[in-house]
């Protein structure tokens, strides 16, 4: 009996612009996504006996398990990789639970309602605008207490204006542009490609909005060199992934006529001294400052999988900012360091004839920002042949989590 971990079902709630989800709570959205994923897999929800999440998800597994009527709860886990860096690590933890017999059916979930809770940078915006005499309403809900160590680490940069994710991640990419001649047009081509994919995706928040290079170049600057369309959206919603054993996956595959999707390998971590990476802008070695900080992890992943970048048929690369996509393409070996711009110019990322179809649902830039877990849903759909932008005969998919922070990645394979 093989316990090798496989993805057998995925599900999501509706994705909306932040604050537009209506009266439904973030907690209810988490339940909705899990129920949808169980139905998609063809299992009864009370068969789930494990749960894993990340990014300080506010929806505690023990309460979800009770509300879902799970017969017996065996496993609960939360990833330490921060923010969007933990999505693939949560899948890895689910796979470890399944393969070691801690649980038989584990759901990985992420619920994120930025319209119901304070967003990073909003408190700083309140302080700046109030100091300038502008009246601003505070957010409706403030959750928890901020990580004091993180705030202390950021203390030397926040007074100089580094109060948002865009500012933090703009600095390494500006260095990349200086070193290699990468341009804003390269970033624009990434955003446009993913928007075209989203235009074919009925789940995408940006499904009805096209994007041209001219619109990208004329959009307002957020944090040089990132313009508006270089930045991920802010959304409300939830999604979930069901992980189980190979034996169970075989039974489900015969029933739903889908290929089996194996979690071939996973990796997580950070370089020496990296701490929170670009968010703290400290302790990053100079030779990797203009990278996504994921090259070492990528090398471990390929070794574990016994595969190379040339084996990948489709990729779902975390796109909180366009620049992070380009740097991860280099980190994961799809092109050499400094050659990401040329790789983008080749049209490689298009699902319609590109050599590396990427973010075929639209990603965080154009489908929804769910801290990257929706990338894993799309990875499975790509290998099942169910993507809205199908890649013919796709067998191997790379999924990455956030660059510029301690991160994670997985390789999926259809068989």
274 flagged as catalytic: no
How confident is the model over 301-330, as pLDDT tens digits? Answer: 999 999 999 999 999 999 999 999 999 999
318 flagged as catalytic: yes
Active-site residue, from 109, 117, 274, 369: 369
Hunting for tokens 């998800």 — which residue is that?
57
Tokens of 55: 């990014």
**DSSP H or E segment with residue 226:** strand 226-227
**DSSP H or E segment with residue 315:** strand 314-316
Q: What pTM does this model have?
A: 0.93
Cis peptide before 284 (omega within 30 of 0): no
Does pLDDT of 121 surpass 80?
A: no
| Whole-number average pLDDT of the chain | 92
Q: Which candidate, 369, 364, 290, 292, places its Cα nearest to that of 328?
A: 292
Does pLDDT of 115 surpass 90?
A: no
What pLDDT does residue 248 have? 96
What pLDDT does residue 127 have? 46
What pLDDT does residue 204 have? 98
Active-site residue, from 75, 109, 274, 318: 318
Q: Which candidate, 112, 168, 115, 195, places its Cα nearest to that of 362?
A: 195
What pLDDT does residue 337 have? 97
What is the average per-residue pLDDT within 253-269? 95
* CATH code 3.40.50.300 for 6-115+235-414: no
What pLDDT does residue 290 have? 96
Q: Answer whether 47's CB lies under 8 Å from 74's CB.
A: no
What pLDDT does residue 111 have? 96
What pLDDT does residue 144 have? 42
What pLDDT does residue 119 have? 61
Cα separations in angstroms, 311 against 261, 315, 378: 16, 11, 18
Does pLDDT of 132 surpass 70?
A: no
What is the average per-residue pLDDT within 78-85? 92
Q: Answer whether 105's CB lies under 8 Å from 49's CB.
A: yes
Does pLDDT of 340 surpass 80?
A: yes
For residue 399, give the 3-state DSSP assignment. strand
How confident is the model over 363-404, as pLDDT tens digits? Answer: 999 999 999 999 999 999 999 999 999 999 999 999 999 999
What pLDDT does residue 142 have? 42
**DSSP H or E segment with residue 111:** strand 105-113
Does pLDDT of 117 surpass 50?
A: yes
* Residue 196 binned pLDDT confidence (cut-offs 50, 70, 90): very high
Does pLDDT of 145 surpass 50?
A: no
Percent of the chain's residues with pLDDT above 90:
81
Q: Answer whether 268's CB lies under 8 Å from 88's CB.
A: yes
What pLDDT does residue 110 have? 97
* Ranges 6-20, 146-160, 203-217, 342-356: which has the least confidence: 146-160
Q: How far is CA 314 from the centre of its chain?
A: 15
Does pLDDT of 125 surpass 60?
A: no
Q: Which candidate, 380, 322, 314, places its Cα nearest to that of 353?
A: 314
């Amino acid at each position: 009996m093989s316990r090798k971990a496989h993805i057998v079902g995925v599900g999501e709630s509706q994705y909306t612009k932040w604050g537009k989800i209506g009266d439904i709570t973030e907690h209810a959205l988490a339940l909705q996504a899990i129920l949808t994923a169980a139905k998609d897999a063809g299992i009864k929800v009370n068969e789930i006996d494990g749960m894993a999440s990340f990014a300080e998800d506010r929806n505690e597994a023990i309460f979800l398990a009770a509300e879902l009527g799970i017969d017996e709860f065996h496993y609960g886990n939360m990833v330490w990789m921060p923010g969007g860096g933990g999505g693939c690590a949560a899948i890895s933890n689910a796979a470890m639970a399944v393969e070691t017999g801690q649980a038989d059916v584990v759901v990985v979930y992420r619920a994120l309602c930025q319209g119901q809770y304070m967003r990073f940078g909003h408190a700083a915006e309140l302080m700046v605008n109030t100091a300038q005499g502008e009246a601003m309403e505070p957010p409706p809900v403030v959750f928890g207490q901020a990580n004091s160590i993180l705030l202390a680490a950021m203390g030397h940069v926040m007074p100089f204006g580094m109060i948002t994710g865009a500012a933090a991640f703009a600095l390494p990419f500006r260095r990349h542009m200086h070193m290699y001649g990468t341009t804003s047009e390269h970033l624009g081509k990434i955003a446009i490609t993913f928007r075209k994919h989203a235009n074919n995706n009925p789940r995408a928040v940006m499904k009805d909005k096209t994007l041209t290079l001219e619109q990208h170049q004329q959009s307002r600057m957020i944090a040089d060199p990132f313009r508006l369309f270089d930045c991920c959206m802010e959304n409300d919603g939830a999604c979930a992934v069901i992980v189980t054993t190979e034996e169970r996956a075989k039974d489900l595959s015969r029933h739903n006529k889908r290929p089996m999707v194996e979690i071939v390998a996973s990796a997580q971590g950070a370089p020496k001294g990296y701490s929170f990476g670009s968010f703290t802008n400290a302790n990053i070695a100079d030779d990797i400052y203009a990278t996504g900080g994921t090259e070492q992890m990528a090398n471990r992943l390929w070794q574990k999988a016994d595969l190379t970048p040339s084996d990948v048929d489709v990729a779902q690369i975390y796109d909180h900012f366009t620049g992070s996509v380009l740097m991860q393409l280099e980190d994961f070996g799809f092109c050499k360091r400094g050659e990401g711009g040329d790789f983008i110019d080749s049209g490689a990322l298009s699902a319609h004839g590109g050599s590396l179809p990427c973010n075929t649902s639209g990603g965080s830039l154009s489908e929804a920002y769910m801290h990257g877990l929706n990338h894993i849903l799309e990875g499975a759909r790509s290998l099942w042949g169910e993507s809205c932008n199908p890649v013919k005969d796709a067998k191997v998919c790379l999924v990455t989590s956030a660059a510029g922070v301690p991160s994670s990645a997985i390789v999926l394979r259809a068989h």
